[in-house]
Amino acid sequence: MPSDYVAPGQEYTRDTAYIESRITADGADGWRVEPDRYRLIVARACPWANRMLIVRRLLGLEDALSVGMCGPTHDERSWTFDLDPGGVDPVLGIERIQDAYFARVPDYPKGITVPAIVDIPSGAVVTNDFAQMSLDLSTEWRPFHREGAPDLLPAAQREEMDAVMRRVYTEVNNGVYRCGFAGSQAAYDDAYDRLWTALDWLEERLATRRFLMGDAITEADVRLFTTLARFDPVYHGHFKANRQRLTEMPALWGYARDLFQTPGFGDTIDFAQIKEHYYVVHEDVNPSGIVPKGPALDGWLEPHDREALSTGGSPFGDGTPPPPPRDAELVPQHATPLPGGVAPVR
């Protein structure tokens, strides 16, 4: 998760000083796309890392890009591999993702964040620029996509989609954090108003189209979904983004359920880890460390009936749904309201 800080009395500002190296087909930055060379490090709790899990699943990059999972909590040093036997990542042989940052830049002074992609031979982080990373999976890693991988960045819609994604990022993805970490009443009030202005815009937009760009899923939907999945469990209460619950916004709630029930989306969501991360790690917001038992999550499986907004065809456009998750990457059953796994796409 990108590093967070707030100055008392001020608006929350996200630290965006990332390692901006890119892994490309031509290796222009010194890092060439190669299967089995890199390891994607994520935490299911983190919305920015969750994006990468979804895109990797949709594009079918499991064979080319392995994944390492950090646990849901961390200390001031970094995320840890406490879910793995012995607390050590089995490929990188490290206990903390911090070690991979230090292998790249000794005494790395910036935020130790996920997602990050690590060069396995050197053990060094290549990049933690989460916004560019998912775009590169669609473009630079294309030779390793599965047959039937959807086009998440359709060229004909790219200009409009980039504008939508910018607004989603500044006002919604980051907007909930501006509410939760506001350093003053005035900063909170401004953040709250901006967030709900954007959510009302999205509610109106999604009332007439199945997905953000039309009939097919794109990168824009991936970016919005990970915030919506955390909205009622975390952001509504913990971050005081509480004008309404997601379940009280018909278009957004139907849209979120539609994506949740689509292979590649809901099967990456671990609600238990999400709640544990926010309520335990954010001691300044929740000093008791108590994790709430609610809200009820069974509504995620309710019919959404959003197919009626589509002109036909698959949510994957000319592509196909991804296969089921691999056994090693399944979300524990206790973490999800899906007793039998994700419902098939309709």
**Domain boundaries along the sequence of the chain:** 155-335
Dist CA 146 CA 159 (whole Å)? 26
DSSP 8-class letter at 38: E
The rounded mean pLDDT for the chain is 93
Q: Give CA angle at 197 (15, 134), nearest 5°.
A: 45
- 46 in active site: yes
- Phi, psi (deg, nearest 5) at residue 300: -60, -20
Dist CA 177 CA 172 (whole Å)? 9
DSSP 8-class letter at 336: S
For residues 183 and 8, is the Cβ–Cβ distance under 8 A? Answer: yes
Question: Is 31 labeled as ligand-binding?
Answer: no
Listed in sequence order, the residues at least 6 apart from 126 whose beta carbon sits closer than 8 Å to its beta carbon are 19, 21, 23, 31, 38, 104, 116, 117, 118, 119
- 70 in active site: no
Which entry of 12, 101, 177, 278 is annotated as an active-site residue?
A: 177
Which entry of 12, 18, 38, 46 is annotated as an active-site residue?
A: 46
Dist CA 46 CA 30 (whole Å)? 28
The pLDDT, as a whole number, for residue 343 is: 45
Give the pLDDT band of residue 240 (cuts 50, 70, 90).
very high
Question: Which architecture characterizes domain 155-335 according to CATH?
Answer: Up-down Bundle (1.20)
Sheet (strand 38-43) strand order? 66-70, 38-43, 116-119, 124-127
Q: 3-class DSSP state for residue 346?
A: coil
For residues 123 and 92, is the Cβ–Cβ distance under 8 A? Answer: yes
H or E stretch including 310? none
The pLDDT, as a whole number, for residue 334 is: 61
pLDDT tens figures, 245-277 = 999 999 999 999 999 999 999 999 999 999 999
What separation in angstroms does the CA of 322 have from each of 1, 30, 340?
A: 26, 31, 17
- How large is the average pLDDT for residues 8-21? 80
pTM, entire model: 0.94
pLDDT tens figures, 16-48 = 789 999 999 999 999 999 999 999 999 999 999
